[in-house]
Amino acid sequence: MSIQLEERLFIAGKFVEGNGERIDVINPANKEKLASVHVAGQKEVDAAVDAAEKAWPAWADGDPSTRSRIMHKLADLVDENANTLGMVQSLEMGKPLKDSIIEAHGVAYVYRWFAGAADKIHGKTSLNVPGFLGLEIRQPYGVTAGIIPWNGPLAMLAWKTAPALATGNASIIKTSEKSPLSALIFAELAVKAGLPDGVLSILSGARETGQLLASHMRIRKIAFTGSAIAGKAVAEAAARSNLKSCTLELGGKSPVIVFDDCDMEDAVTRVLGGFNRNSGQICIAGTRVYVQDTIFDKFSEKLSAAAQSYKVGDPTDESYSSGPQVDILQHKRVLQYIETGKAEGAKVLTGGAAGDEKGFYVKPTIFVDVKDDAIINKEEIFGPVAILHKFTTEEEVLKRANDTEYGLAAYVFTKDVSRAIRFAKGLEAGQVGVNTTGNAHPDLAFGGWKGSGIGRELGHHSIDAYTEVKTIFIR
């Protein structure tokens, strides 16, 4: 497949030069340069804001069916070009091609959901104040921004832009410098779909570009997905500038609880996928695995064997289940965590080393004999590393599972419906999977408790997140 890779910024419906700086994009599967993208500085950020301010009023005030029609057309184009979008994402960040193509179709699905919501944004009326008709209406912020991560550039692009556009906002997206290319292909499709110039801008750059957006006085709403450290910096910049509204999704250290009445074969398969999907580079990865003592030895044996046969290699080759870490920095980070685990006295059940030297590969790794306060058990590794713990009682494991500053996702495997409901209520997480790992759907909220973020994405929560409420009293 021959693909022309765009390297420039997308502002006001056109691809334009950046500030003169360039950032190389490296293919993590072979360490070769793919492209060298332009960087957005203050001038380019201001130009995107100018274009957004010019475009959004007509976009918001027009017939919402027009927004819906254009978004449906864009969804159709994404479906038609899913193979190209998937290949570019696979090349830029190492996600298996088959998964990247599925993700591209998922972008279209998200756009169709929000296209359907564009003309269903309602407020309420009240006759509860004597002598007045009270109204609550929802209106768009106007200029919004999104900062998306490198581990799912297509999906996160959709999660940030689709609700913003459906509610009548303009959206400025800052891509990750590690995986900026698939979003630029998407921008080309937006032009073909008829999206008005300025309603969407795509900027590439490093953290400095994100800070320019977070601190910009004419941006009223920002959404960020990434690390807790970076998220706090975004929130601080937003507060210090114009107190813009923030939606933050900041990662996790998700527990998986496996009871002895589970379907073991199914649990092994899903736990394996839960910490290896996307090379472990997924915020809802189930990495702290608590297995009931009565089945611990058998479960760990089966999971270890499955991990050893899990094929890691070229993400464009469909015979492999997982690809590389995104770049040299992430590769070194994961390997350093593995060495830290060994130094802390944990035992490597399988893996524990780098893979093929042609790319940034890490073998699926499972630790046992890990203390609850160990670094590898507390900090988000963002690689194919799981920690197996043994537990005895429900009360014990619930307390240990919740003993984390993160609260994005949690999982429980059991055939006992009552137990499943108890744990779904008791686990301190924004999302709980019962006999499953790693789900998301545009009809349902996604977001975290505790240190995993603020606010929710997807579903009607996104409609609320991208609109402001205005109360009107009519005497």
- Active-site residue list: 249
Q: Is 34 left (phi over 0), alpha (psi -120 to 50) or beta?
A: alpha
Euclidean distance between CA atoms 208 and 72, whole angstroms: 34
25-42 burial: b if 16+ Cβ within 10 Å, else e: bbbbbeeeebbebbbbbe
Cβ 16 vs Cβ 9: under 8 Å: yes
Residues 6+ apart with CB under 8 A from 46: none
Q: Which two tokens stand for residue 261?
A: 């009445």
Cβ 333 vs Cβ 313: under 8 Å: no
Euclidean distance between CA atoms 74 and 72, whole angstroms: 5
DSSP string, 150-219: SSSHHHHHHHHHHHHHHTT-EEEEEPPTTS-HHHHHHHHHHHHHTPPTTSEEEE---HHHHHHHHT-TT-
Q: Which two tokens stand for residue 164?
A: 């913003």
Distances (CA, A) of 243 to 215, 217, 235: 9, 9, 9
∠ CA(280), CA(286), CA(291), 5° rounding? Answer: 130
Query: What 3-state class would DSSP assign to 324?
Result: coil
Cβ 288 vs Cβ 275: under 8 Å: no
Euclidean distance between CA atoms 306 and 376, whole angstroms: 22
Distances (CA, A) of 410 to 254, 273, 423, 454: 5, 14, 9, 17
Distances (CA, A) of 473 to 36, 135, 136, 141, 467: 55, 6, 9, 21, 19
Euclidean distance between CA atoms 244 and 211, whole angstroms: 13
Pairing status of strand 453-454 against strand 170-174: unpaired
